[in-house]
Structure 1
Amino acid sequence: MPVAWDEFRLVRAITERGALAPAAASLGINPSTAFRRLAAIEAELGTRLFERHRSGYVATPAGEAMAAAAARMEEEVARFDREVADRAQTPSGLLRVTAAAPLVTDLLMPMLGRFRTRYPKVQIELVVSEEALNLSRRDADVALRATRDPPPNLVGRKLATIAWAVYGPVRGDADGANAVWVSPSEAVAGGLFARFVAARAGPERVAMRLNTVQGLCEAICEGIGIGPLPCYRGDRIAGLRRLSGPDPELAASLWLLTHPDLRHAARVRAFMDHVATEVAPLRPALEGRQAG
């Protein structure tokens, strides 16, 4: 009896995550269901697909082969979806957009509202995520990302430079050599901002570490410490002032990216043109050229 496509997906998920619970969560099923299905697959095939260890599940050669087949099948399905989408000439259908939370709240949401007014036949699925989703697998159609190194397998356009500077409360002695800092954690931008703060303040002068830009901004506003913020955000807050000029060490580029097979799809092309047009007048603020 042929093995169903869903079973290939299950084996691949377990292989990639090394455990039943996260694999089941990624597929929207219960771990107990995943356990029963895996046992049934192995019984049907007459071979073990995973070795069970205390540290997790390790694929056997048969499991690795099945996971690799699942990856090839998934890519073919995604390729078919992209080809079908490319044939549509009128902007319509589902458009999956991903962006990090600060870009969504500060930039993207108003643009999405105006896009929907202009293209009412396009339904938007917005995925707010700090992680770079896999556009090749159609986890998203378009990504708005602040990055210095966009993936080489994607295409798109650089919209602006995002400048960062050090900010502190308008009131208070924040300029001294003994100022207390708040710092992004090592999990943010590969530790770039944490290293920036560490080069200027010893551990005893870091009052708080956070893993979100929103939290960092709130901490600075509350007077917990000084710290780096994107200029387009820090400059808009009346209670904050710049304590430095835009620092090239922290600058990143704002990119709008998609998969090469999707760039000519009507809804994707319309969205990318719309966002590029909307970002253009915001470039001075994004690039830190409108300090108050």
Structure 2
Amino acid sequence: MPVAWDEFRLVRAVAERGALAPAAAHLGINPSTAFRRLAAVEAALGTRLFERHRSGYVPTPAGEAMAVAAARMEEEVARFDREVADRALTPSGTLRVTAAATLVTDLLMPMLGRFRARYPAVQVDLVVSEEALNLSRRDADVALRATRDPPPNLVGRRIATIAWAVYGRVQAEAADAAWVSPSEAVAGGLFARFVAARAGPERVALRINTVQGLCEAIVEGVGIGPLPCYRGDRIAALRRLSGPEPDLAGSLWLLTHPDLRHAARVRAFMDHVAAEVAPLRPTLEGRRPEAPSA
């Protein structure tokens, strides 16, 4: 009995995530629906695709083979989409863009209005995510990322340096203050190591895995901590407690898949954002603090 493409996707999602609930969430379906569909596929094929253990779902050899086939099929579909997109002569269609929350609110959102005014035939699908989405699988077409090491399988341009400094509330003193620390999951633990070198574990009041949450905690007085200067300098309640820290400086990149770099909508968006970021470089690099916001 032929198996539908959606069932291949289901098996791959379960194999990659090891459980039904996260696989169902990834596919946008109900866990109970995923359970019934998986049972139906196994019944149709006459073989078990997963061993059910207390720790999760482990693929059998048949399940592994089906997941591998799904990956190949998905890559072929993505390649076809990229080839079709590359043939477009004028910027039009849907453009999937991904960026972290702070980059969206502080930088990207004002630029999107002007981009849409200039290219009304492009519909932007914006995915706000702290995680690096897979551009090869078309999770996104363009990524705006703060990173020191962009993935080697992507192409793009470095458009600015992002400076970081230590911030606290206006009345904060660094000597004996508690700290708010990015978690080990952020930037490979770079920021967590920075804080650990300056404060013992007993002085770390909070660890958090998003820059947005880190900023809010510092504003609320939970502790002092590192922030990107473009964010910290514009908040009236905060002040710098250090100069820009060279060990924390990163780069702002616009990235896309090589097969999409000549697509009109991708090229137009990357050129637009790069041009808009250029006058903001002093602020991003911590050389000219913005006027604080209210």
Structure 1 length as normaliser, TM-score?
0.95
Q: Partner residue of 1:222?
A: 220
Cα deviation, residue 96, structure 1: 0.4
Aligned with residue 259 of structure 2, among 258, 261, 268: 261
Partner amino acid, structure 1, of 2:126? L
Comparing 138-147 with 243-252, which one deviates more in the overlay? 243-252
Q: Deviations over 1:123-153 (max 9, x none)?
A: 0000000000011111100000001110111
Comparing 103-112 with 191-200, which one deviates more in the overlay? 191-200
Q: Partner residue of 1:25?
A: 25
- Cα contact 2:147–2:253 (8 A) shared by 1: yes
Query: Alpha carbons of 1:11 and 1:117: their partners in 2 closer, same or farther (altered >3 Å)?
Result: same
Q: Deviations over 1:188-231 (max 9, x none)?
A: 22222121111101122222222222222222223332211101
Partner amino acid, structure 1, of 2:5? W
Q: Partner residue of 1:208?
A: 206
Q: Partner residue of 2:52?
A: 52
Cα deviation, residue 187, structure 1: 2.6
- After TM superposition, the structure 1 = structure 2 runs for residues 150-189 of structure 1, keeping only pairs within 5 Å, are 150-172=150-172, 174-176=173-175, 178-189=176-187
Secondary structure, aligned partner of 1:249: helix
Cα deviation, residue 281, structure 1: 0.5
**Whole-angstrom distance in 2 between the partners of 1:220 and 1:56:** 38
Partner amino acid, structure 2, of 1:235? D
Q: Deviations over 1:22-48 (max 9, x none)?
A: 112211222222222222212222222
Count of paired positions: 290
Comparing 51-60 with 28-37, which one deviates more in the overlay? 28-37
**Whole-angstrom distance in 2 between the partners of 1:85 and 1:291:** 40
Partner amino acid, structure 2, of 1:34? A
Aligned with residue 246 of structure 1, among 244, 247, 250: 244
Partner amino acid, structure 1, of 2:156? G
Secondary structure, aligned partner of 1:254: strand
Q: Partner residue of 2:195?
A: 197
Q: Partner residue of 1:83?
A: 83
**Whole-angstrom distance in 2 between the partners of 1:215 and 1:43:** 46
Where does the alignment leave 5 or more consecutive residues of structure 1 unmatched? none
Partner amino acid, structure 2, of 1:180? A
Q: Partner residue of 1:271?
A: 269
**Whole-angstrom distance in 2 between the partners of 1:226 and 1:52:** 46
**Whole-angstrom distance in 2 between the partners of 1:233 and 1:72:** 42
Cα deviation, residue 86, structure 1: 0.6
Query: Alpha carbons of 1:72 and 1:239: their partners in 2 closer, same or farther (altered >3 Å)?
Result: same
**Whole-angstrom distance in 1 between the partners of 2:228 and 2:47:** 54
Comparing 234-243 with 14-23, which one deviates more in the overlay? 234-243
**Whole-angstrom distance in 2 between the partners of 1:239 and 1:15:** 47
Structure 2 length as normaliser, TM-score?
0.95
1:237 and 2:235 equivalent?
yes
Secondary structure, aligned partner of 2:283: helix
Secondary structure, aligned partner of 1:267: helix
- After TM superposition, the structure 1 = structure 2 runs for residues 9-20 of structure 1, keeping only pairs within 5 Å, are 9-20=9-20
**Whole-angstrom distance in 2 between the partners of 1:46 and 1:214:** 49
Give me the CA root mean square deviation: 1.3
- Cα contact 2:174–2:224 (8 A) shared by 1: no
Q: Percent identity?
A: 87
Where does the alignment leave 5 or more consecutive residues of structure 2 unmatched? none
**Whole-angstrom distance in 1 between the partners of 2:266 and 2:273:** 11
